Amino acid sequence: MSGSEGTAVITAKALTKRFGDFEAVKGTDFEVRAGEAFGFLGPNGAGKSSTMRMIGAVSPVTSGELRIFGLDPADDGRKIRARLGVVPQQDELDEFLTVKDNLVIYGRYFDIPLKACREKAMELLEFVQLADRADSKVQPLSGGMKRRVTIARSLMSDPEILLLDEPTTGLDPQARHVLWDRLYRLKQQGVTLVLTTHYMDEAEQLCDRLVVMDQGEIAAEGSPAELIRTHSPREVLELRFPAGTNAEHAPKVEGVGARQEVLPDRILIYADDGEAALSEVHRRQAVPESALVRRSTLEDVFLRLTGRTLVE
Amino acid sequence: MELLNNHRPPITAGLIPPSLRDARRPHRVLERHWFVSRSGFFWILLGGFFEPFFYLVSTQLGFGSLIDDVEVGGELVSYVHFVAPALLAASAMNGAMYETMNVFFRMTFDKTYSSMLATPMTAGDVVLGDVFWATIRGGLYSAAFLVVMAVLGMTSSWWGLLLLPASLLVSFAFAGVGMAIATFIRSIEDFEYVPTAMLPMFLFSATFFPASSYGRFEWVLNFSPLYHGVALLRALNLGQFPPSIFTHVVVLFALAGLSIVLSAHRIERALLG
Ligand SMILES: Nc1ncnc2c1ncn2[C@@H]1O[C@H](COP(=O)(O)OP(=O)(O)O)[C@@H](O)[C@H]1O
Ligand SMILES: [Mg+2]
């Protein structure tokens, strides 16, 4: 299923969320189309969860306009929630129920007949590779397993849109890859994915389109490749000088690339040809402890747009 | 309610929060609690049976023989007949109130409500569901209590059957009150205030002395929610229907209604910010 031509299922105009005097989401505009995987990439506190909760119709919009399936969450919250699957940032599994009953009861909240719930629960536990834990309590499961149960639970109602708030934060690399694979399959089945993350590799892997979010605002929007192409030269040269001397070396390598960023632990030099930049550094007789040429990533885009790194 | 609502919002629109008007699935909350508790349910019931048994037997053996008859609505009744319906009211209250204290955990640590509210369920469903659940639990205690009363000969006549729906009403009112209180609890330490408030109410609701013994402070009794339950059950047990029982029924329903509205507001504020 090709998402780029789909109709808009979520639209936000000047979407704002205020908690008392504090503005967590500052008038954002975005549109999610049917069948695509759409991401919010941003560091902690960017306003990702606040946005997701408004989309999930569990947090009222302060001002601006938000439509999900063309419906206003202020009027039709129930109807919207009936068509969404939600994976909140914290797993909210029912510790008093078995893994399977967690899914069954959740299905009942959507008025799905009990027998259908039981069948669907087993089918989804197969899908997330946890069928053998169906009768286990939730508590002894690992973080990655709980996340998979939560995803299975969110699929009980065959949602048209799946909202995933930081689906893999805190998981080990192997558990993340299992999850990414499952999410990719869901997308292939036509489920619209909306996810938040502060991992640029997750955004690159999963998202057709994304917005870069920082301090409640959207800094840029596009496909991962587009964003990188527009906002960053193709390659990055990372230089590490002896501890505490980065700032001192910065003037020496000034102008080697198109742009440079001085971080506490390294200097990043952005250039279309990283190797050529490294030769130039050597010619200027700056001697880094280590040097590395890599491709530009969303992390670099973020740094460029906000002057800060994604994960502190 | 739906029938009256043609284009104009109903008069109650301002009073009743939308989450309550939109509540369609409180029974799903009952279903969830049933899934959780079905394995231990027999033991809960058994416990609910023994407590009144000990209470009533000790009343009969103890006070029963020591204390003179008491006048209720112009009728002279034995002290045991006087006290038993009051204890039934207290048991209906306790059963419901203790159950609703779980609400605090469902709101906070357990996140039970958060995951319900992400579905088509509303805060109104959550409140009504938990109030009904606590009412049922209080009602089961009352039923067990009533059986013990009947077996020990403490019901006066077949009018005693009316005590079941009446004690359900008492449970309903206190389930509401308990739910509302639980939404104000900030931490586990706050739970200590609940019995502190319940004990004086238990002792001073014309439970053990007739209302007349409160002398010129008799009117104060009307401010005790439990008193309305005690007076209602006591009258019904004797087959008496003074006009005041109408007041008691209205007060108990009003208490439940107001508590439910307040609880829905509180849950919305806490979880749907
Ligand atoms: N219920 C709340 N009350 C007050 N402030 C909040 C609340 N929820 C979030 N915030 C604040 O809003 C900002 C954005 O939070 P959040 O949306 O959770 O960001 P993210 O998910 O991107 O980490 C943070 O500064 C956070 O402290
Ligand atoms: Mg978040």
For the residues of A177-230, what is the DSSP string, one character each?
Answer: HHHHHHHHHHHHTT-EEEEEES-HHHHHHH-SEEEEEETTEEEEEE-HHHHHHH
According to DSSP, the residues that pair with A293 across neighbouring strands are: A237
Candidates A18, A109, A155, partner chain B, best to mutate (most B CBs within 10 A): A109
Give the residue numbers in A contacting B (CB under 8 Å), as ranges. Answer: 19, 56, 58-60, 77-79, 81-82, 84, 86, 88, 90, 92-97, 101, 104-106, 108-111, 157
Instruction: For chain A, state the CA radius of gyration.
Output: 22
Q: How far is A123 from chain B (nearest CA, A)?
A: 20
Chain B nearest-CA residue for A75: B18
Domain count, chain B: 1
Helices (H), chain B: 18-21, 26-37, 41-61, 63-66, 79-100, 102-107, 112-117, 123-151, 163-184, 193-203, 225-237, 244-271
Cα–Cα distance, A187 to A140 (Å, whole number): 30
pLDDT at B95 over 80: yes
pLDDT at B3 over 60: no
Q: Give the tokens for residue B65.
A: 């023989």
Confidence band, pLDDT 50/70/90 cuts, at residue B25: very high
CB-based contacts of B13, cutoff 8 Å, min separation 6:
B21
Give the alpha-carbon dihedral of A266, A270, A275, A276, to 10 degrees. -120
Q: Which of B22, B110, B273 sits opposite A95 (nearest CB)?
A: B110
Q: Look at the block and give the residue holding tokens 């206003």.
A: A72
pLDDT at B252 over 60: yes
Q: Give the tokens for residue B91.
A: 């048991």
pTM, rounded to two decimals: 0.90
Domain that holds residue B115: 2-272
Q: In the predicted model, what is the mean pLDDT of residues B44-55?
A: 77
Confidence band, pLDDT 50/70/90 cuts, at residue B1: very low
pLDDT at B52 over 80: no
Q: Which amino acid is at B85?
A: P
- Sign of CA pseudo-dihedral A110, A187, A205, A200: negative
pLDDT at B90 over 90: yes
Among all bound ligands, the one having the nearest atom to the CA of A166 is 2
CB contact under 8 A, A78 and B32: no
Q: Alpha carbon A193 to chain centroid distance?
A: 10
- Give the pLDDT of residue A3: 43
Residue B251's CB is within 10 A of a number of other CB atoms, namely 18
Confidence band, pLDDT 50/70/90 cuts, at residue B54: confident
Cα–Cα distance, B273 to B262 (Å, whole number): 16
- Give the pLDDT of residue B105: 96
- Give the pLDDT of residue A259: 92
Least confident range of B68-72, B105-109, B265-269: B68-72
Pairing of strands A235-240, A267-271: antiparallel
DSSP A160-171: SEEEEESTTTT-
CB contact under 8 A, A110 and B118: no
CB pairs under 8 A between A and B: 60
According to DSSP, the residues that pair with A295 across neighbouring strands are: A235
Cα–Cα distance, B66 to A123 (Å, whole number): 68
Helices (H), chain A: 48-55, 73-82, 99-109, 114-127, 143-154, 173-188, 200-206, 224-231, 246-253, 274-283, 298-306
CATH homologous superfamily of A8-222 equals: P-loop containing nucleotide triphosphate hydrolases (3.40.50.300)
- Give the pLDDT of residue B13: 59
Q: Give the tokens for residue B113.
A: 């409500």
Contact A81, B118 (CB under 8 A): yes
| Fold match, A8-222 / A233-295 | no
Q: In the predicted model, what is the mean pLDDT of residues B234-263?
A: 96
Cα–Cα distance, A302 to A231 (Å, whole number): 9
Cα–Cα distance, B273 to B271 (Å, whole number): 6
Contact B80, B55 (CB under 8 A): no
Candidates B24, B27, B119, B125, partner chain A, best to mutate (most A CBs within 10 A): B119
CATH number of this structure's domain A233-295, picked from the four choices 3.40.50, 1.10.287, 3.40.1350, 3.30.70: 3.30.70
- Give the pLDDT of residue B157: 83
The closest of A179, A162, A194, A217 to A43, measured between CA atoms, is A217
- Give the pLDDT of residue B42: 80
Residue A89's CB is within 10 A of a number of other CB atoms, namely 15
Where are the domains positioned within chain A? Answer: 8-222, 233-295
Cα–Cα distance, B38 to B34 (Å, whole number): 5
Q: Which residues of chain A have pLDDT under 50?
A: 1-4
Q: Give A95's contacts in chain B (Cβ within 8 Å).
A: 110
Please identify among residues 84-113 of chain B the ones whose CB lies closer than 8 Å to any CB of chain A.
110-112
DSSP B5: -
- Give the pLDDT of residue B11: 56
- Give the pLDDT of residue B12: 56
**Residue B148 main-chain phi, psi, to 5 deg:** -60, -45
Cα–Cα distance, A240 to A262 (Å, whole number): 10
By most ligand atoms within 8 Å of CB, the mutation choice from A15, A16, A22, A218 for ligand 1 is A22
